[in-house]
Amino acid sequence: MTSLKSWGRKVLVGAGLAAGTSLALAADITIAQVAPLSGVLASTGQQMVLGGKVYFSHINDKGGINGQKIKVLVADDAYKVDETVRLTREMLAKPEVVALFGFAGTANVGKLLTDKVLEEGGAALVAPYTGGEPLRTPFNSWIFHVRAGYADEAEHMVQQLTTLGMNRIAVMYQDDGFGKAGLVGVEAAMAKRGLKLVTTAGYERNTDKVEAAVKSIKAADPQAIIMISINKPTAAFVKQYRESGGGAQLLNISVVDPAELVKLAGLKNAHGLGISQVVPYPYMANLPVIREYQEMLKKYAPNEQVNYTSFEEYLGAKVLVEALRRAGANPTRAKVVKALEGMGSYDLGGITVNYSPDNRIGSHYVEVTVIGSTGKLLK
On whether both 32 and 71 belong to a single domain, the answer is yes
**Residue 158 shares a structural domain with residue 142:** no
DSSP track, 258-317: HHHHHHHH-HHHHTT-EEEESS--TTS--SHHHHHHHHHHHHH-TTPPP-HHHHHHHHHH
Number of separate domains in the chain: 2
In a domain, 113, yes or no: yes
140 within a domain of the structure (yes/no): yes
Helical (H) or strand (E) element with 252: strand 249-252
Distances (CA, A) of 36 to 39, 41, 296, 340: 7, 6, 23, 25
CA atoms within 13 A on the CB side of 313: 29
Shared-domain flag, residues 53 and 14: yes
Do 214 and 138 have their domain in common? no
Residue 268 shares a structural domain with residue 187: yes
Look up the domain containing 190 and give its range. 150-277
Q: What pLDDT sits at residue 4? A: 44
pLDDT confidence of residue 7: 44
Q: Does residue 80 belong to any structural domain of this protein?
A: yes
- Exposed, middle or buried: residue 19 (CB in 10 Å: 0-12, 13-18, 19+)? middle
Long-range contacts, stretch 85-90, CB < 8 angstroms, 24+ apart: 85/111, 85/112, 85/115, 85/117, 87/34, 88/32, 88/34, 88/112, 88/117, 88/118, 88/121, 89/117, 89/121
Omega of the bond leading into 138 within 30 degrees of 0 (cis): yes
Residues of the chain with pLDDT under 70: 1-26
**CA gap 347, 349 in Å, rounded:** 5
**Quick check: is 363 in a domain?**
no
Whole-model pTM above 0.85?
yes
Last residue of a domain, one of 245, 277, 309: 277
> For residue 379, what pLDDT is reported?
87
The helix (run of H) or strand (run of E) holding residue 326 is: helix 308-326
- What is the CATH classification number for the domain harbouring 177? 3.40.50.2300
Query: Is-contact 311 293, C-beta < 8 A?
Result: yes
Q: What is the pLDDT of residue 27?
A: 72
Amino acid at 265: A
**Do residues 251 and 157 make contact, with C-beta atoms less than 8 angstroms apart?**
yes
DSSP string, 148-199: PPHHHHHHHHHHHHHHTT---EEEEEESSHHHHHHHHHHHHHHHHTT---SE
Q: Do 53 and 189 lie in a common domain?
A: no
Quick one: 60 and 96 in the same domain? yes
Identify whether residues 170 and 251 lie together within a single domain: yes
Please indicate, yes or no, if residue 51 is contained in any of the structural domains: yes
> Does the residue 329 lie in any domain?
yes
Residues 264 and 156 in one domain: yes
How many Cβ atoms from other residues are within 10 Å of residue 212's Cβ? Answer: 12
Mean pLDDT of the chain: 92
Looking at the structure, do residues 171 and 196 belong to the same domain, yes or no? yes
- The reply to whether 213 falls in a domain is yes
Say how far apart CA 9 and CA 102 lie, in whole Å: 17
* Residue 168 dihedral angles phi and psi, to the nearest 5°: -90, 95
348 phi-psi bin (left φ>0, alpha ψ -120 to 50, beta other): alpha
CB neighbourhood size of 191 (10 A) = 12
Residue 134, domain member (yes or no): yes
- What is the pLDDT at residue 22? 34
The b-or-e profile of 297-315 (16+ CB within 10 A means b, else e) is beebbeebebbbbbbbbbb
